[in-house]
Structure 1
Amino acid sequence: MFEKACHYLRLKGIYLSESDRQVIRLHTGWRCFPRHTLLMEQGVPVRHLYFLNSGIVRLFKIHNGEDYTLGIVSTNDFISTSLYLGNGKPSSCALETLTDVEVLQWDKEDVDSIRQQVPKCREMEMATMDRLLTWLQEMQVDSICLTAEERYCKLVKEQPELIQKIPLKYIASFLAIHQDSLSRIRKTAMQKTLVPVKC
């Protein structure tokens, strides 16, 4: 259950010693959640740090009664950060499972213990923050520079499993378009044979 997180860290150039791995394992929980479980609630302080082993989750925000999907994660990645876990401030958004998921889980005490015992913990935290900042930058650039059709094609190219596994309303929300507009984009894409479209 822990190997996917270690592989993620190795891709970031962070190699843990066996003693480091043992410490982290000791403070790591393993959980399975069904779809439509809230892992993080808007307006409530973040209580856990998660690493997604399998499944799909979405980051969303309710604003003026409207539900906005801010991001969809379907790869092995951290889906919250230790920064939010430690500051005690209410979260500005929420995290929901869109499929059954398997996660690694840490609370604040776990993270504090790992910080004290694992010298590379700082590098791990910086890697997760770098990933978050890169994602935010890409989102901003894409929203300005790409059309809705281009953003859809990019999403399907990078995360093709989303089309098969989650309702299209979440994809439309993520692209900031109406579901009818998404249907037209999908039909156009299919006619151009740019991307596979599920019938």
Structure 2
Amino acid sequence: MSDADINRLVGIIQTARIKKRQFIDQPGYTSQYRNYIVKGSFRSFFLDAEGKEHTVQIAMEDWFVSDFYSYITQTPATLFVEALEDSVILRMSYEEIEGLCKEIHGLSEYFRITTERAFAFSRKRALSSLSMTAEERYLELLERYPAMVDRIPQKIIASYLGMTPEFLSRIRKNLSSQS
């Protein structure tokens, strides 16, 4: 991208400070922003019919976070997106980014590639949850995102991995006794 294109992009970015437990998206409201995490962490989750939380994404620095289906389709969100720590994000509104992407090929390419990577990761995660044991899923998370285990509460990690916190605790205990 040219310096002029970068300046146009910078001109639409809003910096927002988000407090721990604050929502940036929630069901019923259309996601208006593509959010880039500068500092902090978030989770995306939904509530089932019994009110149980199911975490579908954990995101930390250098990741984008939103109810992406809502953002891309501009329809009401189905996910809560909640800050897990006091955080700083860069927000880009849907209308402004779409307008710039029509004019700046490099920006459009960047968002196409990040969206494709997010889709590929989502597909891999779905396959892992169907084909791997709970312990294998936890070990994969540890290998890919070691800092996550220290920063994210165990109950949220357990929800993300599709298990109870008690079961995750047993896995961690078994792994520590093996080393």
Instruction: Give the alignment's TM-score, normalised by structure 2.
Output: 0.90
Compute the displacement of 1:150 (Å): 1.0
1:157 corresponds to 2:128: no
1:45 corresponds to 2:47: no
Structure 2 counterpart of 1:129: 115
Compute the displacement of 1:83 (Å): 6.7
Percent identity of equivalent pairs: 24
Confirm or deny: 8 A CA contact 1:23 1:117 kept in the other structure: no
Structure 1 counterpart of 2:79: 93
Compute the displacement of 1:192 (Å): 2.0
Compute the displacement of 1:66 (Å): 1.3
CA 1:177–1:48 in 2, change beyond 3 Å: closer, same or farther?
Answer: same
SS in 2 for 1:61: strand
Q: Structure 2: which 5+ runs fail to align?
A: none
C-alpha distance in 1 between matches for 2:42 and 2:19: 11
Within a 5 Å distance, the mapping from 1:1-199 to structure 2 comes to: 16-64=1-49, 65-80=51-66, 84-85=70-71, 87-193=73-179
CA 1:45–1:170 in 2, change beyond 3 Å: closer, same or farther?
Answer: same
State the aligned residue count: 178
Compute the displacement of 1:167 (Å): 1.5
Compute the displacement of 1:53 (Å): 1.4
SS in 2 for 1:173: helix
Confirm or deny: 8 A CA contact 1:52 1:104 kept in the other structure: yes
Q: Deviations over 1:123-144 (max 9, x none)?
A: 1221122022112111111112
Compute the displacement of 1:81 (Å): 7.5
CA 1:81–1:42 in 2, change beyond 3 Å: closer, same or farther?
Answer: closer
C-alpha distance in 2 between matches for 1:185 and 1:22: 49
C-alpha distance in 1 between matches for 2:67 and 2:100: 14
Q: Deviations over 1:4-61 (max 9, x none)?
A: xxxxxxxxxxxx2222211100111111111111111123211111111121111111
Compute the displacement of 1:160 (Å): 1.8
